[in-house]
Structure 1
Amino acid sequence: MRAPCCQSAVANARLGLSVHGLAVKAGLDANPYVGSSLMLMYARHGRTAAAEHVFAGIVFRDLACWNAMLEAYISNGYACDAMRTVVQLHRCGITPDVFTNISAVKASSINSELNFGRQLHGLVIHNRFESSTSVMNALVDMYFRAGQQDMAIAIFGKIRQKDTVSWNTVISGLANDEEVKAATDCFVDMSLYGCKPNQVTLSVMLRLCGAKENTSLGLQIFGLAYRHGYSEKLLVANAVINMLSRCGLLHSAYGFFSNLSVRNIMTWNEMIAGYGLHSSSEDVMKLFRSLLCFGSKPDEFTYPAVLSAFQQAHDSRNHEQIHACILKHGFASCQFVSTSLIKVKATLGSVHGSLKVIEDTGKMDLVSWGVTISAFLKHGLNDEALYLFTLFRDECTQEPDEFILATILNACANAALIGQCRCIHSLVVRAGYSKHFCVASALVDAYAKCGDVTAAESVFTDVSLVTNDTILYNTVLTAYANHGLIHQVLRLYREMEELQLAPTPATFVAVISACSHLGQVEEGKLLFSSMLFAHGVHPTRANYSCLVDLLARKGLVSEAKDVIEAMPFQPWPAVWRSLMNGCRIHGNKELGVLAAEQILRMAPSSDGTYVSLSNAYAGDGDWTSAEETRRMMAENKVQKVQAYSSVEI
């Protein structure tokens, strides 16, 4: 079906050019009515420059000409030019109509220009367009996109005659903010208002239920869609597959998919992505083969969905076949596809393969470089990430953004490369990101892990003059705790309290660890209990681990054991190790042996645990048990791992 459509589009474009030629010969190209029609024709074919040429040739432009030019810009993604045109229109003294206002608001929304949008809102009120439902709908959408939910809802409330688009706009806005209850209430109110939900409404609600894994509500919306005859409509059907897959009902999703009489490529993509969520790489491969057998052509979203499953399942066999398909179908230069391919290869540790994909892709944009460097770092390939950053600097004409700078600083931190860290710091200053809290946090962390606490403090002091952020404070707290600067940890935590910064679990990890090192058991226990009751922060595994360490270090090993047994999580080796170390220090052999046995049950290859257990028996004079432990270690082929150090050259 695609080839005839393409031929038709080309034929229409040629016909349009012929008509334009006739208009020029007849001297009608400067006629506002003819000119506006020509501009709209060019806009529909994505030829914005041609539309601009026609617009420039019209001497006496009426409002229809300006509106046509706005349509050309907005429909082809030139929001900045559309905003500039709106300003020119007002300077020419032309009074805008409903369409002008809608286009202007759309332009500010696309370009995330809230201040410009507010000015337009003022003009809407001044020119008395508040009675226009379409204009008000555009304003609601603009404020939602700008993160101004309260303002968007307030404007929605002022719409006198709410239509389906009005309700869909506010429901979509609430859904994008993941406000399930508010979106559901609005959905119910829509029906009470007498406005029937359409495909868009149901699709948005189904996807929201999928995102929040709300199976009960999702199935109710599905039932409503079925009752209204929308379940076979592709927009809704694709959303149903998405919802069922995300809610874990993969078998039901596939059953629904199989029974559909009509499918498009997005339907296949949703089903593939559903299997990918559950790491079913073999099922994904079967589905991909079925897609090809049915004569459907994969698009730029199909391959990332397929590759995502291989990434999660660490499937090194099938991903090479998909790579071959990508090359065969001409998607090697598509950055969205190539970035997904690089992420899979980075997961599998194929550095050479990743570099080959970069070479095949050609010129990569800033986002693709950022994702690629991040993928290498995520899988512990620090040196390779640093090499990629060097490659990026050589091949990309753009300066690194805050995401890339923060990522590469994390690589410097992991490898403790103080020299590289200082070089990146100079880039940060030059690029103007030294006051950006995300980059500053990465800088503080990098300097701290490289051992330069003074430089970390200096960065923190500079940034804290501009912004106070919990993440930034947590980074410094962790740096102090790791370097044994216990009193500084407690001082900074008190400063956070004075600034009324909301603490996170990471905050309490650092502070309780500080109490542990100072032996302040009661203070540490009080801080732990304050997490939930005073701050509404649910303790994580790391927080429980700190509490156990606090008690075990002080010799309260029985109390530490009670905490382990009362945790809302299954115990893990590290928490038992804290107890075992406490028992070793304070001479509680019985509990120490219990802790060691628990560790070996969960991690039978833990060399340190065998050694500690053997030493505990030997220290108590139980040479038989000590020898038995050493024998078990040999039988399980566990060897004591030799430690090593590295230095930056």
Structure 2
Amino acid sequence: MRFRKVNSSTSSRFLHIDPISDLKAAKPLSLTPKVSEDAKPQHMAASVASSNIVKWNMSITKHMRNGECESALRLFKSMPRKNCVSWNSMISGYLSNNRFDLAHQLFNQMPQRDLVSWNVMLGGYVKNKNLGAARLLFDQMPKRDVVSWNTMLSGYAQNGHIDEARRIFDIMPVKNEISWNALLATYVQNGRIEAARRLFELKESWAVVSWNCLMGGYLKKRMLAEARAVFDRMPTRDKVSWNTMISCYAQNGELEEARRLFDESPVKDVFTWTSMVSGYVQNGRVEEARGIFDEMLVKNEVSWNAMIAGYVQCKRIDLARELFDAMPCKNISSWNTMITGYAQNSDIVSARSLFDCMPMRDCISWAAIIAGYAQCGNSEEALHMFVEMTRDGERLNRSSFTCVISTCADIAVFELGKQIHGRLVKAGYESGCYVGNALLAMYCKCGSIGEALDVFKGIAEKDVVSWNTMIAGYARHGFGKEALDFFKMMKDFGIKPDDVTMIGVLSACSHTGLVDRGMEYFYSMKVDYGIVANSKHYTCMIDLLGRAGRLDDAQDLIKSMPFEPDAATWGALLGASRMHGNTELGEKAAENIFVLEPWNAGMYVLLSNLYAASGRWRDVSEMRLKLRDTGTRKVPGYSWVEVQNKIHIFSVGDSTHPDSARIYAFLEDLELRMKHEGYVVATKLVLHDVDEEEKAHMLKYHSEKLAVAFAILNVPTGRPIRVIKNLRVCGDCHTAIKLISKIVGRSIILRDNNRFHHFTDGICTCGDYW
């Protein structure tokens, strides 16, 4: 054999291998001492030659098994004599090493072929999924045995050509158990259970594997009665038969029948016991599962993990930890289950402690700890762990991506979210509905409804969550008309609205003052979509009517509710009362809230603000005393902005930021320019009994103004400014930011705890209706 090299001065790199050319020119490799043929009788010479060929063939096979194709080829070329086995060993070796082209060349060059040669090559075509070439070769075969027929049958079956497989089966001159079982398994795996049953009945006697296959087919279709009938008819049963039926009964919640079969089973192995443990755990009967678990003489990882997961699910994390510590054969799933359990029980310290002790981690481990931090409200640490995960070289899965995208959405870190989106696209996950919906929510919560729309268009199969996210997103951003347009498109695409859809629709009407449209949707959703209004729908309607000043109608709707109103419903009425200065109605709403949620600081603040707006300072003081007496603390207001992947947080009058001097100087300049545009400080919004000058000073450095000023100074021109506030934006700041957007010529997006405000050229998308 000749090799042609490139760049001989460097290490050899072979471009072409020809296993056939110049076979005669190759120098034979000496495997055994040469013996003079003249010194031996003729029959001994023949025997030695035959023995030598066997050794050569065995060496070729050994090289091929080790993946040493070139070494095998050198031996093959060096052989003084070759037989069919030599050629077949080479062909088979090439096929097992995925060198199909070389196998094909050797097969075509064979001086003579036996049945094995044809079958080996036929199997190679089938393995390579080249069924056309396989059938052509099959038709050319001078002789076929049952192996040839079974190879073609399996080839068609494994590639989904079930009818063609059946045609091969029907014309087979001889069938063996493999032929029958191959077709039976094909029918079962493709859900054609009736065809499997008819085939089964054609054969008078079957091995137990065939009975198990048919029974498994019925179970796959959840046809338990039919599967049990097969089980009862079986002439003999093996461990697979018993375990399959027991496991299926257990997994489908029929634990009494599973236990009955379990007690009858003559052969119980660890799988039998584990099926019972898992069945009881999955159906919430953890104590019974523990009883079976304790009876087990031999326990495997699956049974230990099933019990640990059972205790985690019923929030008995202490018992789960006891088992975990006693487990002699912990695997990565055991660690992940415990970490997830701690995280779900808000014990992130214990979760992190276990995580740090893990001998090995996978993407599920990282996703669990990231989700744990996110669920506990520690979004920054969740994102930090995500960065550590990428540095650790761990492959990101859908769960990891979804978790970190949701975390970005919670704290509105837009730039990092976009970077993660880019990585997600490279990983090929973007078009999936699960990850796509997380992206939709992230862009909506980060104030980029346009990019959310782009993601929505790219989701291959949109579900109701996809549509709901866009409807709610448009509603929160103040684009009520677009939200309702999406609602119409959703119905046109045949997606049935659910209760979440209607909350989004009613919110869209509320945020844009579409009272009549909202009333129409509310009263027709039971008839049109079969949706019964729940407390959230009623709260939307109270908010809608209240914002529009129809407080009497809002009260009447509360009285007509088929269930007692909750704190959120009364809160909507209290908010509307404050907006329209109706102190009496506000007090009534607040009294109901304090009964339901005496710890709700926000409602004390709302009523206090209502009193302050009416000049009732004594009542304001009483509210503050009640707030103190209940041990409830008012949530401090703060705002934050993301600049170059870093979060900058501001509180009212904040002077701790390194850029404070520059920010305050810039705000002083902005205030002068705003006053030139007609800005007047809304001192009436200061709900403290102080003089006008002090009120103006208190409004001057609200957290959202500081965040906006810092962002203008640090976010490049041409890019939107995104600011988040944990409470509602105050009216004075809303007026000021409108003017600032006009003065500096920047688009400013402000997200408060209720909705989005898009400020551009002195106008807000809320239309001052929020």
**TM-score normalised to the size of structure 2?**
0.57
Amino acid at match of 2:167: H
Contact 2:382 2:407 in 1 (8 A): yes
Could you list the per-position Cα deviations for residues 541-576 of structure 1 after superposition, in whole angstroms to 9, with x for gaps in the alignment? Answer: 644543453455543334443476627xxx764344
1:165 aligns with 2:212: yes
Contact 1:480 1:488 in 2 (8 A): yes
Change (3 A) 1:229 1:539: farther
Amino acid at match of 2:554: V
1:255 aligns with 2:275: no
Contact 1:83 1:104 in 2 (8 A): no
Contact 1:202 1:236 in 2 (8 A): no
Aligned mates of 1:325, 1:64 — CA distance in 2: 56
Q: Given the alignment, which residue of 192, 214, 233 partners 1:152?
A: 192
Determine helix, strand or coil for the equivalent of 1:118: coil
Contact 1:285 1:318 in 2 (8 A): no
Amino acid at match of 2:318: E
Aligned mates of 2:93, 2:599 — CA distance in 1: 67
Structure 2's unaligned 5+ residue stretches are: 1-49, 66-91, 644-770
Contact 1:265 1:299 in 2 (8 A): yes
Shift of 1:183: 3.3
Provide the identity percentage: 22
Could you list the per-position Cα deviations for residues 494-544 of structure 1 after superposition, in whole angstroms to 9, with x for gaps in the alignment? Answer: 122222222233322211212334555565455446556544557666445
Could you list the per-position Cα deviations for residues 464-500 of structure 1 after superposition, in whole angstroms to 9, with x for gaps in the alignment? Answer: 8x76654433232122101111112112211222222
Aligned mates of 1:83, 1:54 — CA distance in 2: 9
Change (3 A) 1:600 1:451: same
Aligned mates of 1:390, 1:477 — CA distance in 2: 32
Shift of 1:250: 1.6
After TM superposition, list the pairs within 5 Å mapping 1:180-579 onto structure 2.
182-190=222-230, 198-209=241-252, 214=253, 217-229=254-266, 232-292=268-328, 297-315=329-347, 326-327=358-359, 332=360, 335=362, 339-340=364-365, 342-343=366-367, 345-346=369-370, 349=373, 380=377, 382-383=379-380, 409-420=405-416, 423=419, 441-460=437-456, 462-463=457-458, 469-518=463-512, 523-524=517-518, 527-528=521-522, 531=525, 534-536=528-530, 542-543=536-537, 545-550=539-544, 552-553=546-547, 554-555=550-551, 556-562=553-559, 566=563, 573-579=567-573
Change (3 A) 1:414 1:313: closer
Instruction: Name the counterpart of 2:166.
Output: 125
Determine helix, strand or coil for the equivalent of 2:262: helix
Aligned mates of 1:101, 1:536 — CA distance in 2: 54
Instruction: Name the counterpart of 2:79.
Output: none
Contact 2:471 2:504 in 1 (8 A): yes
Aligned mates of 2:326, 2:228 — CA distance in 1: 40
Aligned mates of 2:533, 2:150 — CA distance in 1: 53
Change (3 A) 1:315 1:458: closer
**Higher relative contact order at CA 8 Å, sep ≥6: structure 1 or structure 2?**
2
After the TM superposition, which of the residue ranges 125-134 and 282-291 deviates more from structure 2?
125-134
Shift of 1:457: 3.9
Aligned mates of 1:303, 1:68 — CA distance in 2: 47
Aligned mates of 2:54, 2:538 — CA distance in 1: 79
Contact 2:468 2:500 in 1 (8 A): yes
- The number of residues matched between the two structures is 536
Structure 1's unaligned 5+ residue stretches are: 1-23, 40-47, 74-79, 109-116, 144-150, 175-181, 350-376
Amino acid at match of 1:448: C
Contact 1:470 1:502 in 2 (8 A): yes
After the TM superposition, which of the residue ranges 471-480 and 164-173 deviates more from structure 2?
164-173
Aligned mates of 1:378, 1:505 — CA distance in 2: 25
1:612 aligns with 2:606: yes
Q: Given the alignment, which residue of 621, 642, 646 partners 1:648?
A: 642
Amino acid at match of 2:296: L
Contact 2:336 2:368 in 1 (8 A): no
Amino acid at match of 1:160: F
- Aligned-residue RMSD, C-alpha: 5.0
Shift of 1:136: 3.3
Determine helix, strand or coil for the equivalent of 1:28: helix
Determine helix, strand or coil for the equivalent of 2:160: helix
Aligned mates of 1:324, 1:308 — CA distance in 2: 14
Shift of 1:614: 3.5
Q: Given the alignment, which residue of 60, 73, 96 partners 1:52?
A: 96
Change (3 A) 1:123 1:478: same
Contact 2:246 2:261 in 1 (8 A): no
Shift of 1:253: 1.5
Amino acid at match of 1:335: D
Aligned mates of 1:223, 1:590 — CA distance in 2: 68
Could you list the per-position Cα deviations for residues 411-452 of structure 1 after superposition, in whole angstroms to 9, with x for gaps in the alignment? Answer: 544443444455556666777777655565555444433333
Instruction: Name the counterpart of 1:100.
Output: 151
Change (3 A) 1:251 1:346: same
Aligned mates of 1:98, 1:311 — CA distance in 2: 56
Could you list the per-position Cα deviations for residues 96-120 of structure 1 after superposition, in whole angstroms to 9, with x for gaps in the alignment? Answer: 65753686478x5xxxxxxxx223x
Amino acid at match of 1:416: A
Aligned mates of 2:331, 2:640 — CA distance in 1: 46
**TM-score normalised to the size of structure 1?**
0.66
Could you list the per-position Cα deviations for residues 230-281 of structure 1 after superposition, in whole angstroms to 9, with x for gaps in the alignment? Answer: 6x54323212211222222222211222233443333222222211221212
Amino acid at match of 1:502: K
Contact 2:413 2:446 in 1 (8 A): yes
Change (3 A) 1:310 1:511: same
Aligned mates of 2:631, 2:528 — CA distance in 1: 49
Determine helix, strand or coil for the equivalent of 2:623: helix
Amino acid at match of 2:160: R
Aligned mates of 1:25, 1:381 — CA distance in 2: 74
Change (3 A) 1:104 1:545: farther
Max radius of gyration: which structure?
2
Instruction: Name the counterpart of 1:629.
Output: 623
Aligned mates of 1:539, 1:561 — CA distance in 2: 13
Change (3 A) 1:634 1:526: same
Amino acid at match of 1:118: G
Determine helix, strand or coil for the equivalent of 1:239: helix
Instruction: Name the counterpart of 1:20.
Output: none
Shift of 1:52: 2.8
Change (3 A) 1:503 1:397: same
Aligned mates of 2:130, 2:614 — CA distance in 1: 87
Contact 1:512 1:546 in 2 (8 A): yes
Amino acid at match of 2:96: E
Determine helix, strand or coil for the equivalent of 2:53: coil
After TM superposition, list the pairs within 5 Å mapping 1:591-610 onto structure 2.
592-593=586-587, 595-601=589-595, 603-610=597-604
Shift of 1:26: 5.2
